[in-house]
Every structure is written in structure tokens, then in C-alpha cells.
Amino acid sequence: MEDWTEDDWMEWVEQTYEAFDAKDVDTFVAQLTPGATVRFGNGEPLAGRVAIRDAVGEFFDAVGTVSHAFTAQLRVDDTLVVEEMVTVTRRDGSATVVLPAATVYELTEGKAERMQTYIDVSPLFASGQAPSLCRASEAAIA
């Protein structure tokens, strides 16, 4: 994506996060390549749009609202690192939590091939209640 301008990069970031914050799983997943891999916090890596769509949809169902405020960005070639403060309201509205996070994207042909988000969502969910997107496998815990 050597021909992308800074405006192109910013537009991709804005579209991706607007879709996520609107809980628009289809538009969010459309920002990924068909064979993309996503890893969110301690969750197991997910491969492919269908698995990612299902897991992100489950996460959206588990929270009330989500919004991102960017604090920094760094781009090297086709890799983008976004530092953000993520504000999430529990589904029942009982609490709103602001969590620091960083996401690394590897882009190819205008889509994310890999997405790795570093975030601790434990303040949001009771033990064992986090959606699958955010959970480590039993083998990783043992």
C-alpha cells in the first residue's frame, strides 16, 4: 500500500473504528481480508471473516456501548499501531470503564490481514463471563 497517502490511512482507521463503535459487525469485518487473523486481549486467535464476525458479534452483545479515543499512531510500511483509550459500558449499564489499549494492524491491499489488540477487559466481566473473543483457551490457562 505504498501508494496510500496519510489521508487514506486516516480514512481506513476512521471507518474501522466508526464501525466498531457503532457495533456494526458487518462493516467492521469488511475492513479485514477474507483470511484475516484477529486476536483480542487474552482471547484465542481467530482466523477468517466468519469466525471473526461471530466472535465480535458475541462481544457486541455482551456490552452496552463502546467508543475509542486515539492517543497515538505509528505507521511503518504496511503496519499500523494505534494507541487508544476505550470506553465501554456494561450491558446492564451498571458501570462504565475506560481501558488503555493498543492495536497492531498489518494491512494488505487496503484491508487488515492481521489485527492484534492488547487490552485487559477483566474490569468489565465477572470471572468466567467474558465473551469468547476475550478468553484464553483452557489449555493456555493450565
**Which of 60, 106, 58 is CA-nearest to residue 80?**
106
What pLDDT band is residue 138 in, cutting at 50, 70 and 90?
A: very low
Question: What average pLDDT does the segment 20-29 reach?
Answer: 97
* pLDDT recorded at residue 8: 84
Task: Sort 94 into a burial class: Cβ within 10 Å, 0-12 / 13-18 / 19+.
Answer: exposed
* pLDDT recorded at residue 127: 65
Tens of pLDDT along 32-52?
999 999 999 888 899 999 999
3-class secondary structure, 99: strand
Question: What average pLDDT does the segment 54-64 reach?
Answer: 93
Instruction: Please tell me the pTM assigned to this model.
Output: 0.86
Cell of 110: 487496503
